[in-house]
Amino acid sequence: MTKIKRALISVSDKEGIIDFAKGLEKLGIEIISTGGTARLLKDAQVKVKLISEVTNFPEILDGRVKTLHPLIFGGILARSDNPLHQEQLVAQQIKTIGLVVVNLYPFQKTISKEEVKLGEAIENIDIGGPSLLRAAAKNYQDVAVVINPQDYPIILEELEKNQGEISLEIKKRLATEVFEHTSFYDGIITHYLRKNLLKKSTSFPRTLNLLGEKVSDLRYGENPHQFASFYKEVLVKEVNLGDAVQLGGKELSFNNLVDLGAVLEMVKDAQ
């Protein structure tokens, strides 16, 4: 495990971030941040260094370019067990970043609004955020990456327990969640742009991503010895089983849902 000395924080969802940053500061971890996140933390009396102070390059293009810089990505991607990487860090005066805390522009929430304009949707396509997440997740041996505010207490507890270090097992879990999340995020963008930029296209895409959010684990799968979970398609707006609320009875199984789905479709056809 590697002791974390420096964290990068840049979040759209500000839930819990002040307490988390204060916890990091208490552990002696330097915090670097961007734009609105930095202002929020400074207002809460958290010591923060701006990304632009690290890179000596300002945020430009209305914030479209903030973190895309070798002094940032070099500090995230460098392997601690690679002598050449370490030599290059010294030569270029790059400090490592051991913790990356990022969540993305709310693209899905933006496009769910009625009559949202294409331009507004485009501006909510995050570029730097996914790049930071993917870089940190790629180098999970040396960098912990956090996208979910629910993980903040777990990370603080881990840092306190291990004198500023995070176990490899937790880093592996966090890295896997990042690629799940960025894949889902890109899938929603792809679906939206295909619908809104290629309105007259009748061709089918070369690849197909199913965009589902987990609703619940099921009692069992098609057979009692099998495991199963229920996911709903996030971009389906018509009435569907994913929006149903169970009012009573035991946990549902795969077969229960198949039967319920058939009944729901019959009712919809009869309308």
For the segment 200-235, what is each residue's pLDDT rounded down to a tens digit? 766 777 887 777 878 888 888 888 898 888 888 777
Crossing angle of helices 128-138/168-197, nearest 10°?
150
Structure tokens at 54: 């690290």
Amino acid in position 181: H
Residue 35 φ/ψ region, left for φ over 0, alpha for ψ in the -120 to 50 degree band, beta for the rest: left
Stretches where the chain sits below pLDDT 70 are 1, 201-202, 271
- Could you tell me the domains of the chain? 6-197 (3.40.50.1380), 212-270 (3.40.140.20)
- In this prediction, residue 234 carries a pLDDT of 75
- In this prediction, residue 89 carries a pLDDT of 93
- In this prediction, residue 201 carries a pLDDT of 65
For the segment 34-57, what is each residue's pLDDT rounded down to a tens digit? 888 999 999 999 999 999 888 888
- In this prediction, residue 137 carries a pLDDT of 96
Beta bridge partners of 31: 7
Amino acid in position 92: Q
How many angstroms separate the CA atoms of 254 and 228, rounded?
7
